[in-house]
Amino acid sequence: MQFEQFAKLHGVLIDEARPVDRIQRCPTVEHPRHKNGAWWWDGRRGWVSAWDNGGDIHWFNDPNQSWTDADKRAWAARRISFRSAEDRKHEMAAQRAGVILLACKVTKHGYLNLKGLGEVQALVTPDDDLFVPMRSLSNDLMGAQIIHWESEERGVDEKDASGHARSWRGASYWAS
């Protein structure tokens, strides 16, 4: 049985399984237009999970290839290396957010006004972007979301202090 067939048997739709280092999100049989499924496969073994079927993890092992102790050690070393790289990214996101947070001022922002929260004060960067810090339960700064605000007409009736029309462009996220 191929990994794709195994996945479908457990309610997960995978177009083409390829060896991956990260968990992949995918559609499920019950919800083919949403990414309610997840899978990971190293070319020989892997697992699938469908949240709309309870989220249980189902392991796939190629019966023609055993998982040796050396394979297990190599897999564990890759996971440790991956986690270390992810930890470095998270630390960088928190540091970057901390630097930007120090430069922010507390004031009203046009985006919040557009959302009906015109009297709410928020953290605003020197570039006039809305800064939303992301914190852990212990209040450690983990990252941030920045909502960019453009100075060009796009059918929005909001004006900045200089009288220019402003429009919401999008958001950047850094999280750990």
Reading the block at residue 70, the tokens are: 């050396």
Indicate the pTM of the whole model: 0.52
Would you say 122 and 106 are in contact if contact means Cβ atoms under 8 Å apart? yes
Domains of the chain, residue spans:
3-67, 88-174
8 Å CB contact between 146 and 132: yes
pLDDT at 101 over 80: yes
Q: State what percent of residues in the chain have pLDDT above 70.
A: 82
Digit-coded pLDDT (tens) for 24-65: 999 999 999 999 999 998 888 888 999 988 888 898 876 666
> Tens digit of pLDDT for each residue in 88-98?
888 898 999 99
Output the CA angle 61-14-80, nearest 5 degrees: 55
Are 45 and 60 a contacting pair, CB within 8 Å? Answer: yes
What is the rounded distance in angstroms from the CA atom of residue 166 to the CA atom of residue 164?
Answer: 6
Q: Where are the alpha helices (DSSP H) in the chain?
A: 3-9, 69-103, 110-114
Whole-number pLDDT of residue 79: 78
**102-135 pLDDT per residue, tens:** 999 999 998 888 888 989 999 999 988 999 999 9
Coil, helix or strand at residue 67: coil
- In this prediction, residue 154 carries a pLDDT of 41
Is-contact 19 42, C-beta < 8 A? yes
